[in-house]
Structure 1
Amino acid sequence: MKQIIKKVLGKIGRNLAFSEKESLNSMLLLAGKQLATTHNSYESIKELSSVEFKVFSQNGEDGIIDWLVSKLPMIPKSFIEFGVENYQESNTRFLLINKYWKGLVIDGDPANVQVIRQDSIYWQYNLKAVCSFITKDNINDIFKEAGFTGEIGILSIDIDGNDYWVWQAINTVNPAIIIAEYSSVLGDVYPVSIAYEANFYRHKAHYSGQYAGASIAALKYLAQEKGYVFIGTNAVGVNAFFVRQDLYPIVSNAIETITSYPVSSSDTRNEAGELTFIRGRERLELIQNLPVVNVETGETFSLSALSGVYSQEWLDLM
């Protein structure tokens, strides 16, 4: 009898937890819709961060994305996002649910992909989840095998490592909007990235977790090479936004100032894996003897060889 009662109580508890989560999501969605309606009525904004709000995104990306999509209603209603973990916190989940876009999400952890496929959104919406560890050599095949090629609305890149090199390799899709994570610790002056390593994992590369990705200057350089224009970052200094050149005139007059921000959060760790919360220029000192590549020249050197990694504008914000 006790076992039966425990099972019943356990089931009730799980159902209550699920119900509470669904209620919270419904409230968040409603709030997001209301904010989106307000923001989308603006003819112009001071900067991208002016329209930030968070429903499912890590920071304010939901608001920025919704505003951009409202300004570009002609773009395909499809997206690709990779490095999504279990997709509970992501750049495109609000877009999927609120605007019924078609999407492809990719993560290298089978457990994460299983969570996505067991989520109710997987049958309620047009979403495909693929489990694959992304490299510059397999990314285009992943897209093709999943049925995503040609024109798409949004490409969101966040793999905490080879972001620059993977984006550089992509040639099977032509996104209208690109969202790419940048490494604030690498500054905003030099176009540098970590060297490509197929099996890169940032906490193995350096215990601090700070040796990863590319500087925002490197992403701007690549964007220009690929025919995109930088339009700003979110306020916490994590994601950069780019619009394809043919679409840029539509949004250019609606954004008064193109701004970028250094990261405001800190996830630095010591050799024991404990958070140390080191901020500002001190973060750079942790990895200053590690190599980076100047993506314009191809030259490799240590970060310590660079002077003035941060602009005065960024230094004032640190």
Structure 2
Amino acid sequence: MKFKLGQKIIDKLRNKKQNENKKLLENVLNCLQSILQINNKILERSNYVGGQRWEIELQERYKNKLYLDGFGYKVFSQNDEDGIINEIFTRIGTTNKKFIEFGVQDGIECNSHLLLDTGWSGLWIDGNKDDCNKIKTFFKTSLEDKKLAILNDFITKDNINELFAKAEFQGEIDFLSIDIDGNDWHVLEAILKRKQIIPRVICVEYNPLIPPASDPKDCSTDYVLPYKEDWIWPVDDSQGASLSAYYHLCKNYGYRLVGTCVNGVNAFFIQENLAQDKFISDKNGALPFYNPWRHRNIKYYTPFAMPFCDLRESLANRIDIYKKNGLI
């Protein structure tokens, strides 16, 4: 789109230049024209985030239904993860419909909120006390119905399995989602080693800065942020681990890479024995699944404003929340 509406407005205004404020009007027109030109340049550049190669490959993946790129959509997830998660379980089925997710903030925008609202149950862990208090309010019904459990703990590679045990989670679960903006790789390794829980599907945020190598045995692009127990992300590119690093880690523990979200934020792995011929093979490594970081260029929105509480909350609780937030 080339801002045709904006151009029409400019054209109409130019036809009315004969008024008394001709000079002022001309200045306004010139400003509008400049904004229009800048926006058009931004749109042209945004077609090739990270380079034309990835855009061309993405268009090819859309044509092959074994890839997950074309199945994404947002309900409560940050990007298109909700749709990808749904498609994965459509292909492999579910067992106990149990999830664990950590780094959920207040729970409204996360990868398991939709699962919770569609018959699943699980555990959320977050290190922020204020966010956990919001969860207690926003998801009061799910907590009371024992569909959801929460822990307010700062996660490390040394305590993660104890936290699972504390919440009485062990053995196989259907879905695990990790997003702690730093020690994700190290924490995932601790989970896979210990086997306190055994997830069938893993979603983990990856660092899209470095594309994977073309040779699946090449580990030169395996960037992993060095472990620091009290690490808090400073909002820069020193975050998590590269897609290639996760590919090699998960491969060692019997998981297959099956896709990434189009925005280049999260990667999805499933147990090798579940994949069969339902997904593209990852024998050629992580490169065929790579998406660059498009988060600023592709935005996903919910149909309405982001909710202040869960869909299942009672009217009385909703009214109380709305009053506290100044909505009514």
Question: TM-score interval w.r.t. the shorter chain?
Answer: 0.5 to 0.7
Secondary structure of the equivalent of 1:153?
A: strand
Question: 2-side partners of 1:266 and 1:209: how far apart?
Answer: 14
- Residues 62-107 of structure 1 show CA distances to partners (whole Å, capped at 9, x for unaligned) of 0111111122224331010001111110001101102x11110110
1:166 and 2:190 are equivalent in the alignment: no
1:124-273 to structure 2, matched below 5 A, reads 126-170=147-191, 171=194, 172-189=196-213, 190-203=221-234, 209-249=236-276, 251-252=278-279, 259-266=289-296
1:111 is aligned with what amino acid? D
1:71 is aligned with what amino acid? R
Give the TM-score taking structure 1 as reference length. 0.65
CA shift, 1:46, in A, is 4.8
Task: Report the number of matched residues.
Answer: 218
1:86 and 2:106 are equivalent in the alignment: yes
Q: 5+ unaligned residues in a row in structure 1: which ranges? A: 1-43, 268-318
Q: Percentage identity across aligned positions?
A: 36
| Greater Rg over alpha carbons, structure | 2
1:50 and 2:70 are equivalent in the alignment: yes
> What's the counterpart of residue 296 of structure 1?
none
Give the TM-score taking structure 2 as reference length. 0.63
- Residues 172-199 of structure 1 show CA distances to partners (whole Å, capped at 9, x for unaligned) of 1110000010011244231120110001
CA shift, 1:260, in A, is 1.7
Question: 2-side partners of 1:87 and 1:129: how far apart?
Answer: 10
Question: 1-side partners of 2:107 and 2:254: how far apart?
Answer: 29
1:110 and 2:134 are equivalent in the alignment: no
Question: 2-side partners of 1:146 and 1:46: how far apart?
Answer: 36
Tell me if the contact between 1:71 and 1:250 (Cα under 8 Å) persists in the aligned partners. no
Q: 5+ unaligned residues in a row in structure 2: which ranges? A: 1-63, 214-220, 298-328
Q: From the superposition, tell whether residues 224 and 254 of structure 1 become closer, same or farther in structure 2 (CA, over 3 Å).
A: closer
1:11-26 to structure 2, matched below 5 A, reads none
Tell me if the contact between 2:258 and 2:280 (Cα under 8 Å) persists in the aligned partners. no
Secondary structure of the equivalent of 1:202?
A: coil
Tell me if the contact between 2:258 and 2:268 (Cα under 8 Å) persists in the aligned partners. yes
Range moving further from structure 2, 63-72 or 213-222: 63-72
1:283-294 to structure 2, matched below 5 A, reads none
Range moving further from structure 2, 118-127 or 145-154: 118-127
1:277-316 to structure 2, matched below 5 A, reads none
CA shift, 1:258, in A, is 5.1
